[in-house]
Amino acid sequence: MKLATIRKDGGTACVRVDEDVAVETGHADVGALLADGDWRATAAAADGARHDLGGLDYATLVTNPEKVICIGLNYLDHIAETGRTAPTHPTLFPKFARSLTGAYDDIPLPHDDESTAVDWEAELGLVIGSTVRRVKGAEAPAAIAGWTVVNDISIRDFQYHTTQFMTGKAWERSTPVGPHLVVAEPGDEAHFPIECLVDDQVMQSSNTKELCFGPIALIEYISTFITLVPGDLIVTGTPSGVGHARDPKVFIQRGQTVVTRIEGVGELRNRCV
């Protein structure tokens, strides 16, 4: 099952995306559906207004998530290209609701006098589907609602102003998410081919099985110190091939299109303006 949040009539609506039509569930976004009791059954039984797939205007999946938690240095191949050693604990940083944007929206780059060091980072996102704290073992996969595609567009000079690099990661409308939440069943392996292209040139190509800390380990670790709630987004990290690790460095130019693709999950396509 696939779920999405679409824009309509000045607002948004959650839809179940079938093969030939999108059906409204009666909720304002995917986050509201996930917070509404037995959301799987509710989504499967939804029979609201119908929309042609070709005309959908995708918003970000959860329009106002309580938490967006991102993981740095979490692919073995990316750790190798940075010349660092594998971490003993996940490296975490936050984003905000205003950092997120839709799967096909334009991404506004910083003004030229602010930064020209804008980089791509293809990432698997996992969305939380139940309220959990201090979960272990089988409880952790049961908390996963499903998977989505994210690009952690990064402003590298702001990222390295200090050792705390949130300022380079949380720029407004810089992080596309979607287009769908691909609903997961407990026990599903999160092993997906993942790639990023800039103007049709492949920049990243890997597999999510390269994750140093996988989805279960991340949920166990994060839920130790804070409660995870339906609609929370965990952005699991990026593989090798980022622009600032190249010699010479390569950054996104105004007018280029970034495509982020995870096989079996979906594709983002965002023009940078």
Cis ω for the linkage preceding 179 (within 30 of 0): yes
More confident residue, 112 or 85: 112
Give yes or no for residue 187 having a pLDDT over 90: no
Q: Say what the pLDDT of residue 78 is.
A: 77
Retrieve residue 148's tokens.
């989505």
Q: What would the mean pLDDT of 198-219 be, rounded to a whole number? A: 95
Burial class (CB in 10 A: 0-12, 13-18, 19+), 39: buried
pLDDT at 194 over 90: yes
| Exposure class string for 141-176: b at 16+ Cβ within 10 A, else e | bbbbbbbbbbbbbbbbbbbeeeeebeebbbbebbbb
Average pLDDT along the chain: 94
Tell me: the pLDDT tens digits for 222-261?
Answer: 999 999 999 999 999 999 999 999 999 999 999 999 999 9
Mean pLDDT of 191-202: 97
Q: Say what the pLDDT of residue 87 is.
A: 84
Give me the pLDDT at residue 266, please. 97
What is the Rg, in whole angstroms, of the alpha carbon atoms belonging to the chain?
18
Supply the pTM of this predicted model.
Answer: 0.95
3-state DSSP call for residue 91?
Answer: strand
Query: In the numeric block, which tokens belong to residue 222?
Result: 């994060």
Q: Which two tokens stand for residue 31?
A: 């986050």
- Mean predicted confidence (pLDDT) in 38-50: 97
pLDDT at res. 73: 84
Which of left, alpha, beta for 225 (phi over 0: left; psi -120 to 50: alpha)? alpha
Q: Is the pLDDT of residue 82 over 90?
A: no
Beta-sheet pairing, 154-155 with 118-119: antiparallel
- DSSP state for residue 208 in the 8-state scheme: G
Which is higher by pLDDT, 223 or 158?
223
Asked whether the predicted pLDDT for residue 53 surpasses 80, the reply is yes
CA angle, 218 then 175 then 128, to 5°: 35
User: How confident is the model at residue 175, as a pLDDT?
Assistant: 98
CA distance 104 to 156: 23
d(CA 195, CA 187): 24
